Structure 1
Amino acid sequence: MTGPSCRVCGRRLADPASRARGIGPICAKAAKARAAVHIPTPHPPEHVPGQAELPLIHHQPTLWSA
């Protein structure tokens, strides 16, 4: 169980479900609204439709990594 205050705004949490989540209902609703915004990934000008693109893996070692 998390602390009795919201992790986002610091308000006191009275609801047991909010306490278990660690975030109040107002902040949860705002976070859900922000997550719903989708920004499309831009394609380079030389992008060919149907061309396979490999996803970049965070912290993947390369020839230039030390």
Structure 2
Amino acid sequence: MDIRIGIKDSAREIAFDSAQSPKEVEEAVVAALDSGHLTLDDAKGRRYIVPSAGIAYVEIGSESTRKIGFVA
């Protein structure tokens, strides 16, 4: 699933693929608003820690599978 995190006062965003479910990501974002920082892992095992005060938005993409073969 694709995740994009917009950072306040920055033109760039953090974008990565995650093996976490959309529900897990949503719960982590909501918990981050109280705890002070958001921690998420990507599909390659890297960990992203973002201060919650700097988060402008979090976009949680749908889980999409790759299509193999020809599309009719």
TM-score, scaled to structure 1: 0.27
**Computing the radius of gyration over CA atoms, which structure comes out larger, 1 or 2?**
1
TM-score, scaled to structure 2: 0.25
